[in-house]
Amino acid sequence: MIRNVLGSVLALAGAASAVLSPFRDWYDGRLGRHYRIDELFTGITDSRPGPLGSTLVAFLFAAVLTVVGVVLRSRLLVAASGVVVLGFTVLWMVRQGESEGSLTVAGDGSGLRWGVAEAAAGGVLLLLGAVVMSGRHGAGRRPARGARKQPYAAPGSENPDTWPPTQEPGPSVQTSTLPEPEPELYTGPDPADRRAPAPAPEDRDTAPYPVVPDEGPDADGRPRR
């Protein structure tokens, strides 16, 4: 993570330096954006191109490539942008040397100026940022041996209910595709015992008992018991 952040900062700084360099003097008071991009392949002339035909386009393309590489954490894209910046800078120096016969550095403002140095420094920073970055797979890299170990090893599939080590219930050990049998929820008497319940006293047949007829009141006029 730290390497990606540091590499991204270096890459963005290099891209900014490369984009600003065409607005500075490159040689003998001439700005970098006053050179046509096709002159780097055919030869330097005195003509001044528009913004879309100058070397500024190449450095803007390198800056966009850098931003995409930083977002995607792609070392390849960042390195490619550094190669573009350094390649166009070196190619300009070759063509300028052919046009002037030699490249000089003077204190009176003639010869190579700070714009070229800024472009070259931007390309170097881009390549350095690509080297420092760990890339997309850096965050998922395994820690060093002994740095952080798992306190308990996970059990195998033959004993899935012993993890975690607290012996708490784990995943089901059922391997059949059929549903698990549900427990019997009926808690009443056994249905196999089909004996009829004893009848209530008021529902019993009283025929076996003798029936005493009502013989009327006794001699004193009281009812018989």
Is 211's pLDDT higher than 90? no
Concatenate the DSSP letters of all residues of 99-130 into one string. Answer: HHSS--B-TTS-BB-HHHHHHHHHHHHHHHHH
Question: Which range, of 4-8, 32-36, 58-62, 207-211, averages the lowest pLDDT?
Answer: 207-211
Per-residue pLDDT for 190 more than 70?
Answer: no
pLDDT at 125 over 70: yes
pLDDT digits (tens, 9 = 90+) for 64-121: 999 999 999 999 999 999 999 999 999 999 998 888 877 777 666 677 889 999 999 9
Length of the chain, please? 225
According to the model, what pLDDT value does residue 53 have?
85
Could you give the dihedral angle defined by the CA atoms of residues 73, 74, 77 and 80, in that order, rounded to the nearest 10 degrees? 110
Entry pTM: 0.59
